[in-house]
Protein backbone atom coordinates (compact mmCIF):
# COMPACT_ATOMS: atom_id res chain seq x y z
CA UNK A 1 0.00 0.00 0.00
CA UNK A 2 2.87 2.37 0.82
CA UNK A 3 5.32 3.12 -1.95
CA UNK A 4 8.67 4.67 -0.99
CA UNK A 5 11.01 6.45 -3.38
CA UNK A 6 14.51 7.55 -2.33
CA UNK A 7 16.47 10.38 -3.90
CA UNK A 8 19.54 12.50 -3.20
CA UNK A 9 22.27 9.93 -3.59
CA UNK A 10 25.40 10.60 -5.57
CA UNK A 11 29.18 10.82 -5.59
CA UNK A 12 30.90 12.88 -2.93
CA UNK A 13 34.44 13.23 -1.59
CA UNK A 14 35.49 12.21 1.89
CA UNK A 15 34.25 14.77 4.39
CA UNK A 16 31.41 15.91 2.18
CA UNK A 17 27.68 15.92 2.83
CA UNK A 18 24.55 14.55 1.23
CA UNK A 19 20.90 14.72 2.12
CA UNK A 20 18.76 11.75 1.22
CA UNK A 21 15.01 12.09 0.84
CA UNK A 22 12.31 9.45 0.91
CA UNK A 23 8.88 10.33 -0.44
CA UNK A 24 5.88 8.16 0.32
CA UNK A 25 2.80 7.54 -1.77
CA UNK A 26 -0.27 5.41 -1.18
CA UNK A 27 -0.21 6.07 2.54
CA UNK A 28 0.93 8.50 5.19
CA UNK A 29 4.18 8.05 7.05
CA UNK A 30 2.62 9.53 10.17
CA UNK A 31 1.24 6.06 10.93
CA UNK A 32 4.65 4.38 10.52
CA UNK A 33 7.98 4.27 12.18
CA UNK A 34 10.63 5.03 9.58
CA UNK A 35 14.16 3.88 9.05
CA UNK A 36 17.20 4.04 6.82
CA UNK A 37 19.29 0.98 5.99
CA UNK A 38 22.27 0.50 3.71
CA UNK A 39 23.83 -2.36 1.83
CA UNK A 40 27.35 -2.46 0.45
CA UNK A 41 28.42 -5.00 -2.19
CA UNK A 42 28.86 -8.44 -0.69
CA UNK A 43 27.49 -7.38 2.68
CA UNK A 44 24.17 -7.73 4.47
CA UNK A 45 21.75 -4.86 4.67
CA UNK A 46 22.48 -3.02 7.90
CA UNK A 47 20.67 -0.58 10.10
CA UNK A 48 21.64 3.08 9.81
CA UNK A 49 19.00 5.19 11.54
CA UNK A 50 15.39 5.11 12.68
CA UNK A 51 12.77 7.55 13.88
CA UNK A 52 9.65 6.76 15.87
CA UNK A 53 6.08 7.05 14.64
CA UNK A 54 5.42 10.31 16.53
CA UNK A 55 8.93 11.46 15.60
CA UNK A 56 10.06 12.01 19.18
CA UNK A 57 12.73 9.32 19.32
CA UNK A 58 15.66 8.51 17.06
CA UNK A 59 18.29 5.82 16.98
CA UNK A 60 21.55 5.40 15.08
CA UNK A 61 24.12 2.79 14.30
CA UNK A 62 27.36 3.43 16.17
CA UNK A 63 29.19 3.86 12.88
CA UNK A 64 27.14 6.92 11.91
CA UNK A 65 26.26 8.42 15.28
CA UNK A 66 27.22 12.08 15.43
CA UNK A 67 27.49 12.33 11.65
CA UNK A 68 24.03 11.38 10.36
CA UNK A 69 20.66 12.83 11.33
CA UNK A 70 17.28 11.31 10.54
CA UNK A 71 14.19 13.48 10.46
CA UNK A 72 10.63 13.31 9.24
CA UNK A 73 8.24 15.87 7.86
CA UNK A 74 4.78 14.40 8.00
CA UNK A 75 3.16 17.34 6.21
CA UNK A 76 5.26 16.45 3.16
CA UNK A 77 4.93 12.72 3.75
CA UNK A 78 8.70 12.40 3.70
CA UNK A 79 11.68 11.27 5.73
CA UNK A 80 15.25 12.51 5.39
CA UNK A 81 18.77 11.44 6.21
CA UNK A 82 21.32 14.22 6.52
CA UNK A 83 24.80 12.76 6.13
CA UNK A 84 27.82 14.83 7.14
CA UNK A 85 31.48 13.96 7.37
CA UNK A 86 31.09 11.14 4.88
CA UNK A 87 33.69 8.40 4.77
CA UNK A 88 34.52 5.81 2.09
CA UNK A 89 33.04 3.12 4.33
CA UNK A 90 29.67 4.86 4.01
CA UNK A 91 29.54 3.82 0.36
CA UNK A 92 26.43 1.71 -0.15
CA UNK A 93 22.93 1.63 -1.55
CA UNK A 94 20.71 3.39 0.97
CA UNK A 95 17.12 2.28 1.49
CA UNK A 96 14.28 3.92 3.34
CA UNK A 97 11.71 1.72 5.00
CA UNK A 98 8.43 1.94 6.90
CA UNK A 99 7.21 -0.20 9.77
CA UNK A 100 3.83 -0.52 11.42
CA UNK A 101 5.68 -0.62 14.72
CA UNK A 102 6.32 2.55 16.65
CA UNK A 103 10.09 2.20 16.39
CA UNK A 104 12.47 -0.48 15.17
CA UNK A 105 16.15 -1.03 14.45
CA UNK A 106 15.51 -4.47 12.94
CA UNK A 107 15.33 -5.10 9.21
CA UNK A 108 12.81 -7.90 9.64
CA UNK A 109 10.30 -5.64 11.35
CA UNK A 110 9.92 -3.27 8.42
CA UNK A 111 6.98 -3.73 6.07
CA UNK A 112 7.70 -1.44 3.12
CA UNK A 113 10.94 -0.67 1.30
CA UNK A 114 12.10 1.76 -1.34
CA UNK A 115 14.26 0.81 -4.30
CA UNK A 116 17.38 2.44 -2.89
CA UNK A 117 19.71 5.24 -3.89
CA UNK A 118 23.46 4.89 -4.41
CA UNK A 119 25.86 6.83 -2.22
CA UNK A 120 29.52 6.71 -3.20
CA UNK A 121 32.24 8.38 -1.13
CA UNK A 122 35.63 8.73 -2.77
CA UNK A 123 38.99 9.05 -1.03
Q: What is the pLDDT of residue 69?
A: 98
Rounded to an integer, the average pLDDT of 100-109 is 96
Percent of the chain, pLDDT > 70?
100
Q: Are strands 10-13 and 46-51 parallel, antiparallel or unpaired?
A: unpaired
Rounded to an integer, the average pLDDT of 81-98 is 98
For residue 102, pLDDT over 90 is answered with yes
Q: What is the pLDDT of residue 55?
A: 82
Q: How confident is the model at residue 1 (pLDDT cuts 50, 70, 90)?
A: confident
Q: What is the average pLDDT value for the chain, to the nearest integer?
A: 95
d(CA 105, CA 99): 10
Q: How confident is the model at residue 26 (pLDDT cuts 50, 70, 90)?
A: confident
Q: What is the pLDDT of residue 29?
A: 86
Q: What is the pLDDT of residue 106?
A: 97
Rounded to an integer, the average pLDDT of 1-27 is 94
3-state secondary structure the chain: CCEEEEECCEEEECCCCEEEEEEEECCCHHHCEEEEEEECCCCCCEEEEEECCCCCCEEECCCCCCCEEEEEEHHHCEEEEEECCCCHHHCEEEEEEEECCCCCCCHHHCCEECCCEEEEEEC
CB 36: neighbour CB atoms within 10 A?
26
Amino acid sequence: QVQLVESGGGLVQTGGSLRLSCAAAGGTISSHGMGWFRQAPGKEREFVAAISRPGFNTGYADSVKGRFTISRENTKNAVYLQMNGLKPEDTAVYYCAATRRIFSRSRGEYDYWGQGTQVTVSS
